[in-house]
Amino acid sequence: MILFSIVEGWRNFKNLGIVGLLTICSLTFTLILIGISLHGYLIVESWRKGLLGKFEIEAFLIPGADSTSIAELAVKLSAVKLVDRVTYISPEQAADRFRQQFDIDLNDMMGYNPLPSSYIVKLVKEADPATSWQTVSNIITTFEGVDEVVFEGKVLARVERFYQKTGAVAMVSVGVMVVVSLVFTTLTAISSIKASEDFIRLIALSGGSRAMAMGPFIVMGGYYGALAGGIAVSVVYFMTIMFQLGWEGQTVVPVIWIPFLVGSGILIGVVGAGWSASRKIRMY
């Protein structure tokens, strides 16, 4: 019966004109959108990870803190949840960093080094930029010996908002297009079923099973999905090459996307056509 469905499904696939073409177009567009959205998401994700790796919390210490309290503070900081590592910056090192960053030597300019010692605190990758950074910062502020805590909270929050907004827009767009494609596939299958009423009646009244009558239409949906998936993979591939859309370590479409996009197309096609077949084939 599988062979029967494959052969008859192919026949249905070949026989449909303008409606079939529209289905392939909508499915292809959906899959391109899925591919580009995923690709874009992965680029943003890679960019976000790189950016988060550069953020740090700086805890300035009260001037004149002794070495024992500085060491004790290091232990307390390391024990805070989500803290990955802490690095002590002496006033001399702080002056060096300032000189490297702004090309100004504070000792020469002011005659002394006004910068206090500090701890640079890095959080683990899993820390949520929207909440964890502020929480850890608040905890560190309460520690004895800490004068002031500084981190780029607003920038961090903005990065996170952009990341979440991008993800949401991509998800909604993909969801809408999947629904549109399902509608097109459903209409195509209905049109094919109507055009094949003699075939269905023949199968039904000759004693063929319902699965035998439905199979060719479901497989037809699969063919549409496979073709659309193949086109979509090629389009996404060329778009990433043309616009150099890649991220660190991944400059072109990953190979896994070929089965992913083709598989998604087949799934949409089969679900749409299967739904139509189950609703419209009424000889049982």
| Residue ranges in contact with other proteins by CB under 8 A | 4, 198-199, 201-210, 212, 283-284
Element (H, E) at 61: strand 57-61
Decide whether 8 or 232 has the Cβ nearer to other proteins. Answer: 8
Any residues with CB less than 8 A from the CB of 81 and at least 6 apart, and which?
Answer: 136
Residue 131, CA atoms < 13 Å, CB-side half-sphere: 3
Beta strands in 49-144 (DSSP E): 57-61, 83-89, 118-123
Q: Provide, rounded to whole angstroms, the least separation between the CB of residue 198 and other proteins.
A: 5
Decide whether 101 or 206 has the Cβ nearer to other proteins. Answer: 206
Q: Provide, rounded to whole angstroms, the least separation between the CB of residue 222 and other proteins.
A: 20
**Nearest residue to 226 via CA among 179, 269, 174:** 269
Decide whether 164 or 209 has the Cβ nearer to other proteins. Answer: 209
Distance CA(48)–CA(53), nearest Å, equals 8
DSSP tally for the chain: helices H, then strands E: 10, 4
Write out the two tokens for 89.
């910056």
Beta bridge partners of 148: 60
Decide whether 3 or 75 has the Cβ nearer to other proteins. Answer: 3
Amino acid at 194: K
Q: Provide, rounded to whole angstroms, the least separation between the CB of residue 224 and other proteins.
A: 21
Decide whether 67 or 206 has the Cβ nearer to other proteins. Answer: 206
Any residues with CB less than 8 A from the CB of 38 and at least 6 apart, and which?
Answer: 170, 257
Q: Provide, rounded to whole angstroms, the least separation between the CB of residue 197 and other proteins.
A: 9
Q: Provide, rounded to whole angstroms, the least separation between the CB of residue 11 and other proteins.
A: 9
Decide whether 19 or 204 has the Cβ nearer to other proteins. Answer: 204
Amino acid at 162: F
Q: Provide, rounded to whole angstroms, the least separation between the CB of residue 1 and other proteins.
A: 8
Decide whether 80 or 212 has the Cβ nearer to other proteins. Answer: 212
Element (H, E) at 150: strand 146-150
